[in-house]
Amino acid sequence: MSLNRDAAINVANVLTEALPYIQRFTSRTIVVKFGGNAMVDEALQNSFARDIVLMKLVGMNPIVVHGGGPQIGNLLDKLNIDSEFVDGMRVTNSEAMDVVEMVLGASVNKQIVNLINHNGGQAIGVTGKDGQLIRAKQLKVTRNSPDLAAPEIIDIGHVGEVASINTSVIDMLINSDFIPVIAPIGVDGEGRSYNINADLVAGKIAEVLQAEKLMLLTNVSGLQDKNGEVLTGLTTKQVDELIEDGTIYGGMLPKISCALDAVKGGATSAHIVDGRVNHAVLLEIFTDEGVGTLITNKK
C-alpha cells in the first residue's frame, strides 16, 4: 500500500528532523532504564524494543537496565513469602533473594532479551554478577527515633548499593555489536548477592561510562512544577533549587536525585521519560519537543 502525498511529506519531515540528532549521537552511549507501564503493556514493550533496535542500527550504543518489582512481588505472594518494606525498599532475606535472582536474572531479563531479538536486534542478558559487572555493598538504612540518642540502623538484608562498575564487561558487549540488557543484581567481595534499585544501577553506569544520555522511563509525564506543568531543559543548579523549595518531593525525589547524580558525575544529560507513550525513547532523542524532562550538565 503506497503512501499518499501528504503522508509521504510527513515521513520526510520526520526523518529530516531526526537526522541532526542521529548525526550528533552516533557512537554515543545511551543508558535506558526500562520499567513501569512500558514493561507490562504488550504494545509498549514492542514499541520500546523497536526504539532500542533502531538506536543500535543508526550507530548509537544503547544499554538497557531493567527493574521487576511487581513481578518479584507476585512470585513472593505465590510462594507465601511475606514482604516487608522499609522506606520504600523491600526487606530481602536469603529466601527472598533467591526469588529476586530467579525473577530478575532469569525470567524478566530473558523476556527483554527475547523482545529485542524478536524485533531485529542482537541483545545479550547479564546480571551484575556476571564478570563482577556490579560490585555491591549492603545498603544501610538509618531511622531517627525520639527514644534513641543516635539514629537506629535497620538491617534490610540483601538490599545493596553500587560500590563500583566493571566497565570492561559492557565495553566487550558493545564492541561486539550486542545490546547489553542488565539485571540490577550485584555481588560483594564475599560472594553475597544484593538486589539494587534499577534507577541507581542505570545512573551509576551512565556516570562511569560518561554516557551521552541517561533515560529513566516512568509512569508520569515528567517532572512537574507546582502548577502541574512539565519542566524540561533544566540545569543541575535549577534542579537543586527545585528540591530546596519543595517542588520536587515524595516519590519523584529518589528518581530525580539519581538523574542529578549521574549528570553531576559525568553523564551529559538525563531524561525523565513518560514510558506510557508509544516510542517514548525515540521521541525524546530524535525530536525537538521530546516527551519528558531533560536535565543537562550545562552551567
User: Would the pLDDT of 60 be above 80?
Assistant: yes
Q: Of 45, 52, 54, nearest to 18 (Cα)?
A: 54
Mean pLDDT value of segment 238-259: 86
More confident residue, 26 or 156: 26
* pLDDT tens readout for residues 122-147: 999 999 999 999 999 998 876 555 55
Domains defined for the chain, CATH in brackets: 24-296 (3.40.1160.10)
* pLDDT tens readout for residues 161-178: 999 999 999 999 999 999
Contact 255, 199 (CB under 8 A): yes
Measured CA to CA, the distance from residue 80 to residue 260 in angstroms comes to 38
What pairing do the DSSP bridges indicate for beta strands 269-274 and 292-296?
antiparallel
Contact 153, 142 (CB under 8 A): yes
User: Would the pLDDT of 181 be above 90?
Assistant: yes
What pairing do the DSSP bridges indicate for beta strands 193-195 and 185-187?
antiparallel
Give the pLDDT score at 2.
58
User: Would the pLDDT of 54 be above 90?
Assistant: yes
Give the pLDDT score at 143.
59
Mean pLDDT value of segment 141-166: 71
Question: Whole-model pTM?
Answer: 0.90
